[in-house]
Structure 1
Amino acid sequence: MNVASPTIVTEAERLLPQRVAARGGIAIRLRDGRTRLERLHQDGAAKIRMPRSGEDPLEAVLINTAGGLTGGDRLGWEAEVGSGASMVMTTQASEKVYRASSGHAEIGVRLSVGEGGRIAWLPQETIMFDRAAFSRRLDVDLAEGATALIAEATVFGRSAMGEAVERGMFRDRWRVSCADRLIHAEDFAVGPDVRSTLSGRAALGGSTAMATVLVISPDAESWLDRVRGIIGDEGGASAWSVGGTGKLLARLYDGNGYGLRKRLVPLLGLLNGRAGLPKCWSL
């Protein structure tokens, strides 16, 4: 009789902290005049719920059951919207990125939309803690005639809790293509001296909360005056015609997350049309 040798775990291995390695994916299609779920994948701490599955657009709520991210954690989301279908994606709560003892946390997002389809990517804020290290990547592939509303907000420390981010690392990379043509690309990086960098006049001028909102649609420019009215003096917006469609890009900043949200909520509610703001969002 053969007896398997016992697995020997060293003390160093036993003390290694667990890391998140999770992915969630969803695919939807237009059938019988309504947007319907075609495929759903959940792995690890990544969960997807659809509280309004009987309505159009379909709303998908993304949940990280790990309760936050730290160095070494990896989280990925993917969505595929078929031709003529429509979906709003949001998160159950703000994503918190905690201090990293080593490595960095990553979130990767890939969105694809078929001809005449629409996606609204509206996660709640990402909250950075002091000495956090975080990298985020967003890749969006739109077919001809597809439209998108994309927003990302980041808060560097919760001022109401007396928190401040002195040092850390944050990297944010966006690539958006329409009909196989790159129409929007940006890279934002700050660190390791976060507070000093954000205090500069060319950055946030001392503010600690910021948001980027992007609209890809043939009629994007028609929203410009109303968007500027909501943003006010702490931010700005511009619109262009590019790649056979339209693009509106808005930036907002504020001294704290609550002040930012007071303008971001009505702005996203306006730009998301009849779908309005996801129910998870609130002041």
Structure 2
Amino acid sequence: MPLKAKHPGDISLERVAATGRLSVSRLNGRTRLARLYQDGAAKIRMPSTPGEGLEAVLINTAGGLTGGDRISWEVDVGQDASCTVTTQASEKVYRALSGRAELSARISVAGGGRIAWLPQETIVFDRAAFSRRLDVDLAADAEALLVEATVFGRLAMGERVVRGEFRDRWRVACDGRLVHAEDFAVGPEIADGLNRRAVSGGAIAIATVLLISPEAAGRIEAVREIVGEKGGVSAWTVEKSGKLLARLYDDDGYALRKRLTPLVEMLNGQAGLPKTWSL
């Protein structure tokens, strides 16, 4: 249901408050829909795909986010089930007149299950205010491929992000123990923050790729070959599993996607690249 907010001119504006929930389970050798809930601008579609896994496409029918908007996604993957979750298009975060846009995703994966969280890029506009949160709870032998990419302005459109606020928070637990945590924040002088060498050295397109799997360490050389010099890759042993973390950055969203697309296709195994990524 839309919320109402005031901007300095006292004009009443509708705000998005939307929720989408998806639960999948394995039945007769394939992953199938168990439960689906959609509220407000949050919609979920499941195109037909080959193989045993299920692909879900998240859609924000509001066409973007701005200050005061809130959208949340929840995904529950049952035992031995496999699900790839992506978005219909890039999420756009527009200039905020007041408040902050918030997007949260909560994911749980049961034993033997696998999640590939692969939303397309988030595009942040000048003077946007945005907070993104990802919480993942994995069983001891569950696997996860988690990707988030962000582009600060579209160079091809002559856009430049100078000011605003951007926050990104990840918490990933495996068998009840925290295995990955990170908090990234830039603003209110976004351009100045990105120009710092320890942040992105002036690059406006960034991505984080996290793989939790026993096969993580064995993928490190192949991942490094794709990431190249504009980024870095590390791998660790985590509990009974493994963890591979890759950071990518580039001068614009198109250049970033040219490396991110083959990386996602390789790491997502038989499920490959989501259909919407190739459109």
Common fold: TM-score over 0.5: yes
The percentage of aligned residue pairs carrying the same residue is 66
Aligned pair partner of 1:94 in 86, 90, 95: 90
Aligned residue identity for 2:235 = A
- The structure number with the bigger radius of gyration is 1
2:238 maps to which residue? 242
CA–CA distance in 1 between the matches of 2:178 and 2:234? 18
**1:244 CA displacement:** 2.1
What residue ranges of structure 2 are gaps of 5+ in the alignment? 1-7
Instruction: Verify: 1:128 aligned to 2:128, yes or no.
Output: no
Matched, 1:255 2:251: yes
User: How much has 1:203 moved relative to structure 2?
Assistant: 1.0
1:200 match: 196
Q: Single out whichever of 242-251 and 54-63 deviates more from structure 2.
A: 54-63
Quote the residue 1:216 is aligned against: 212
Code of the residue aligned with 2:267 in structure 1: it is: L
Q: Distance in 2 between matches of 1:33 and 1:145?
A: 19
Equivalent residue in structure 1 for 2:104, among 93, 104, 108: 108
Say whether the 8 Å CA contact 2:30–2:81 is kept in structure 1. Answer: yes
Report the TM-score when normalising by structure 2: 0.95
1:161 — aligned with what? 157
- 8 Å CA contact 2:29, 2:52 repeated in 1: no
Please report the RMSD computed on the Cα atoms of aligned residues, expressed in angstroms.
Answer: 1.4
Q: Which amino acid aligns with 2:65?
A: L
**1:6 is matched with which residue?**
none
Question: What is the rounded CA distance, in whole Å, between the counterparts of 1:13 and 1:102 in structure 2?
Answer: 11
What are the Cα deviations for residues 168-201 of structure 1, in whole angstroms up to 9, with x where unaligned? 0000000000000100000000000000110011
**Aligned partner letter, 1:18:** E
Q: Structure 1's 232 and 53: CA in aligned 2 closer, same or farther, altered over 3 A?
A: closer
Q: Return the TM-score normalized by structure 1.
A: 0.94
- Correspondence 1:188 to 2:184: yes
Equivalent of residue 145 in structure 1, options 138, 141, 144: 141
* Cα distance in structure 1, aligned partners of 2:191 and 2:118: 26
Gaps of 5+ in 1: 1-11
1:171 aligned residue (167, 170, 181): 167
The yes-or-no answer on 1:19 pairing with 2:15 is yes
Call closer, same or farther: CA 1:116–1:165 in 2, change over 3 Å: same
Amino acid at match of 1:129: F
Cα distance, 1:54 vs. partner?
Answer: 6.8
Equivalent residue letter for 2:81:
A
Distance (Å, rounded) in 2 between the aligned partners of 1:261 and 1:33: 33
The superposition leaves residues 13-63 of structure 1 with CA deviations (integer Å, 9 ceiling, x where unpaired) of 993110000000000111122111110000000000001267421000000
